[in-house]
Amino acid sequence: MKKMISEKLAEQVQMEVLKRIHPSKKEVATLKKLVDDLKGKISIILKKAGITARIELTGSFSRDTWLAGTRDIDLFLILPYDSPFNPEEVLRVIRQKLSLEWEKRHAQHPYLFTYYHNVQVEIIPCYEYQQGRPLRSPVDRSPLHKKFVLTHLPVGGNDEVRLLKQFMKGIGVYGADIKVNGFSGYLVELLIIHFAGRFLEVLKHANTLAEEVITFDPKVVTPREAFKEDILVVIDPTDSSRNVASAVKEQALTNFIAAASRYLKRPSLVYFFPPTKRVTEQTVNKLYAHPLAFAAIIYPRPAIVDDVLWGQIRKLEASVAKYLERQELRVISIDTVVTQEEVFTFILTQQSHTPEERWQTGPPVALNNADEFIRKYQNNPSTIYGPAPIGKRWQVFVKQKAKRLDELITEGIQRKMITTPSHLQLKESKVLFKDALLEQIKENKELIRFLSQLVVGKPPYLC
């Protein structure tokens, strides 16, 4: 009986969600007009340049799985397989002849990005794909995604895709970019197709997703070991060598499993539309009084594209975490906010200072190079225990001066014990601890809201 009540409530919740996320006829017409306009302009430009290419609309708009308000257009320029033109040449012609503020980007392949009447536009050149012939570019199979989804998504499945997309957006795991390391739109579509076209079926199987290899062709047999580095494996139906879910990291999958489990027990709109917490004086005061320690590395925002920037930021975060763990400070969380001018990398730790005693590991006892280590510590007043041969190495337990979190990070940056990615200007950085940090950012509601969520740790749907 309880299960029936839950599913009935889920149905009511999902109907309300669809009212909010299903694009209106007016929005569809507006976007379609922009697509036709763009295709027409690009077609003329290519023709004048002597470039033969088929212009094909792809992405969620072409598959009717897009969310209201998320306006983006993906246009593939499909060159003949034997075309003498390369993608760089095609992009250069578009950039020169179509006067928009283009941004050239690279993932596996160069493409152009811009805004056209407040709509995100991506122009991606590729070559016509034919089975049995080598690929000429890494994205040649991508236009086939549209064909597969359109032919395999059950009737009504497009709204089920919308529900899963919005659910994942609400819990913060939607997006395959480096910033999120979550689920791409294409992956969401494939999951809905695999699980009988039902949003709830995907949620019900969330906790077993990592155990299987999801394929769409019974003739394709892929052992799990072939993708042992990936937490989730969903084989691309257009390319049996590609894992569509390779971007999904363990934390994103964990967050999805946790949210799916709780939603199935008690469906609620908060999973789809998490409430934006009000920032008040009390919010800031709670941060001042919080027992956990936190600091931020603040540095100028470099003038690089977001994909590269977030790749560098994630490398920095990983390096800071490893460094602090080596210094015996337990890291709870590290995350970053990028503003127009600056980057704030927030670090949350269990303790504010390093311990006053620590173990120091020396050379292996089997090697004859321990003299310096033994000499340094055997009569040292800071030595509490040792030097002693423990676990195949010389080790010593010593007193040390406790260092505060911000001091430790500053030292790590200055002494290059923290890896500094090439584009991040950490020489111009400052590291602020708790009170000093709050003094600087307390008037910035977005930063305080972000820090408050980081410190609380509780998912927004547990409000």
pLDDT at 150: 95
Residues 190 and 304 in one domain: no
Say if 436 falls within a structural domain.
yes
Residues 111 and 184 in one domain: no
Residues 118 and 265 in one domain: no
Say if 366 falls within a structural domain.
yes
Say if 4 falls within a structural domain.
no
Mean pLDDT (the chain, rounded): 92
Using CB atoms within 10 Å of the CB of residue 253, give its burial: 0 to 12 exposed, 13 to 18 middle, 19+ buried: buried
pLDDT digits (tens, 9 = 90+) for 381-426: 999 999 999 999 999 999 988 999 999 999 999 999 999 898 998 9
Residue ranges making up the domain that contains 383: 357-399
Residue identified by tokens 């003299």 is 371
pLDDT at 223: 85
What CATH number is given to the structural domain containing 310?
3.30.70.590
Say if 108 falls within a structural domain.
yes
Say if 306 falls within a structural domain.
yes
pLDDT digits (tens, 9 = 90+) for 176-227: 888 999 999 999 999 999 999 999 999 999 999 998 899 998 888 888 888 9
pLDDT digits (tens, 9 = 90+) for 306-355: 888 999 999 999 999 999 999 989 999 999 999 999 999 999 999 999 99
- Report the predicted TM-score, pTM, of the whole model to 2 decimal places: 0.89
- Model confidence band, residue 259 (pLDDT cutoffs 50, 70, 90): very high
Say if 217 falls within a structural domain.
yes
Residues 285 and 411 in one domain: yes
Residues 109 and 192 in one domain: no
Say if 11 falls within a structural domain.
no
Mean pLDDT over 348-366 rounds to 91
pLDDT at 5: 55
Q: Enumerate long-range contacts of 136-141, CB under 8 Å, 24 or more apart.
A: 136/81, 137/87, 137/109, 138/108, 138/109, 139/76, 139/108, 139/109, 141/236, 141/238, 141/239
Residues 428 and 392 in one domain: no
Is the four-CA dihedral 394, 398, 400, 404 of positive or negative sign? Answer: positive
- Model confidence band, residue 118 (pLDDT cutoffs 50, 70, 90): confident
Residues 295 and 329 in one domain: yes
pLDDT at 385: 95
Of the three residues 255, 274, 293, the one that is the final residue of a domain is 274
Residues 175 and 249 in one domain: yes
Share of the chain above pLDDT 70, in %: 98
Residues 300 and 427 in one domain: yes
pLDDT at 329: 92
pLDDT at 1: 45
Residues 168 and 213 in one domain: yes
Residues 239 and 344 in one domain: no
Least confident residue range of 112-121, 194-203, 248-257, 444-453:
112-121
C-alpha 327, offset from chain centre: 28
Say if 15 falls within a structural domain.
no
* Contact assessment for residue 363 and residue 376, using Cβ atoms and an 8 Å cutoff: no
Per-residue tokens: 283: 């919010």
Q: Domain count of the chain?
A: 4
pLDDT digits (tens, 9 = 90+) for 20-38: 999 999 999 999 999 999 9
Residue 299: which H helix or E strand, with range?
strand 293-300
Mean pLDDT over 347-372 rounds to 90
Residues 248 and 217 in one domain: yes
